[in-house]
Amino acid sequence: MPGLLIVYHSATGGTRQMAEAALAGAQAESGVATTLLHAGEAGPAHVLDAAGYLFAAPENLASLAGVMKDFFDRCYYPALDRLAGRPYATMICAGSDGQGAARQVARIATGWRLREVAAPLIVCTHAQTPAAILAPKTIPPADLAACTELGAALAAGLALGVF
């Protein structure tokens, strides 16, 4: 049974909500084993065991959050040249545009020779003040529905052998 690995980091809860919504969507599909792991817990063995990936991260200072970057730093070389062609998608929780973090994930995925199967899903919280940036986040239902759909689509594609 193919496996979908969802790796996330969340400091204020927004990205965690997005990852959990994607997990729910993926688990609604049969024929795929889905694993949700915090970036601090995920390692090279998890990456190598999965058939596809969903990377979910906040954008901090127009860049990929450090904990997520650490995950990629720890896993990149042990998995290099062993993942070519596997599908992936990205979800970003951002205060503004999220493009910087999405570009970083895309560059890492390019090095791994992963195949992007969906455009980055970026949820903008519009948090622009220090208080708003540090505050717990609540992701709107419509955005969570998009995350659920992305998780379901990745799982269905893996189950059907489309990816």
* Residue 119 DSSP symbol: -
Q: What's the number of domains the chain is made of?
A: 1
CATH number of the domain that residue 31 is part of: 3.40.50.360
Cα within 13 Å of Cα(125), Cβ side: 26
Q: Which domain holds residue 38?
A: 3-160
For the segment 79-125, what is each residue's pLDDT rounded down to a tens digit?
999 999 999 999 999 999 999 999 999 999 999 999 999 999 999 99
Q: Are 132 and 95 in contact (CB under 8 A)?
A: yes
Please identify which residue in the block is written with the tokens 């127009």: 62
Look at residue 34 and tell me whether its pLDDT is greater than 90: yes
Contact yes or no for 25/150 (Cβ under 8 A) = yes
d(CA 154, CA 152): 6
Look up the pTM and report it: 0.98
User: For the chain, give me the number of helices (H) and strands (E)?
Assistant: 6, 7
